[in-house]
Amino acid sequence: MTEALPYRSTPVFDQDTLPAALRTRHNTKAGVWGVIRVLEGELKLTYLAPPSELLLTPATPGLIEPQQPHFVTPMGKVAMRVDFYDQPLPLLRSLPPSPEQVEGSKNP
């Protein structure tokens, strides 16, 4: 089984550069899954349908299903990016590690 790779990733945003569009209600397109990866700090992910919240950290990425309305809120200093996939990623534990996680595992 081949490892899923993102077809696109956003730049890394911090609490000051995080676009307003990500801080307000939005959703991914049909057939697009998003994975929010926090590289530093904490980010609150709010799902609107169904309503729930998740605190994202470097150890806890957030999965966005196609067309799932959501928004994010920085919880202080944060660095994050979004990876986009064109195939299902139903379980967070099946997500490939971020390049930062791979690099970090090489330097004990």
Per-residue pLDDT of the chain (108 residues; tens, 9 = 90+): 456 789 999 999 999 999 999 999 999 999 999 999 999 999 999 999 889 999 999 999 999 999 999 999 999 999 999 999 998 875 544 454 454 444 444 444
> Cα dist. 13→38, 41, 43, 80 in Å?
10, 12, 11, 5
Q: Where exactly are the structural domains of the chain? A: 8-87+95-106
CATH of 8-87+95-106, one of 3.40.1350.10, 3.90.700.10, 2.60.40.1120, 2.60.120.10: 2.60.120.10
